[in-house]
Chain A
């Protein structure tokens, strides 16, 4: 069966520090991968998506970047965090060629102080 992992679960970082959030998927090949951010009490906003290794598309201009070094690994990064980067970050995947399901990881709660 397919599973998706994210870590860390919680992170508190000072402004100006770097960030690396990791997401891995098991049980499927060549998945579509997505990073979403959720502000407190709000809906999710798509940040990045990837349809293959090394293929990254950004949805909104921001202080963050994403990379996909392996088929089932998706990384969200920042060189210098801003206060506005605080939020709940969720990784999701969909099976290649199927757009009728999208499954989410447990999320990372990031607080920038």
Chain B
């Protein structure tokens, strides 16, 4: 079984500053993937970034980077230069071994609400 834990129910950050959203995971699969999604108040789930368990480098997508520490089983999202539009709920998710029976099924954490102050 897989489990995702997001321990920060809410986070606040000043505009233009960086913020880190925490995510820890638990799995027995040898191969897995980690995802971050943004959910604005409209409800849509916006894919932000992906990290494979065997990727040597941390994933980056524009202002988003994933701080992947495999030994610690953590996959924190770092948002640099926060903008007012970054205010939203953020979810960490994982999929299991693609070669097995996971078929890309995602297990989600409970989410962190990020509020960016001007």
Contact = CB atoms under 8 A, between A and B. Distances in A.
Contact of B91 (A34, A44, A49): A44
Q: Which 8 A-B pairs have the closest CB atoms?
A: A43-B108, A104-B45, A99-B104, A99-B98, A44-B108, A94-B104, A43-B110, A107-B43
A89 to B, nearest CB: 10
A88 interface: yes
Contacts of B14: none
A9 B23 CA distance: 30
Majority-rule SS of A interface residues: strand
Given A32-B104, A106-B44, A107-B43, A100 B50 contact: yes
B12 interface: no
Interface string A18-36: 0000000000000010101
Interface in A74-113: 88, 90, 92, 94, 99-104, 106-107, 109
Contact of A43 (B33, B42, B111): B111
Nearest to A51: B103
Interface of A: 32, 34, 36, 41-46, 49, 51, 57, 59, 88, 90, 92, 94, 99-104, 106-107, 109
A59 B105 contact: yes
Interface in B45-85: 45-47, 50, 52
25 contacts: A34-B106, A41-B111, A43-B91, A43-B108, A43-B109, A43-B110, A44-B108, A45-B108, A46-B106, A49-B105, A51-B103, A57-B103, A88-B43, A90-B45, A92-B45, A92-B106, A94-B104, A99-B102, A99-B104, A100-B33, A102-B47, A106-B42, A106-B43, A107-B43, A107-B44
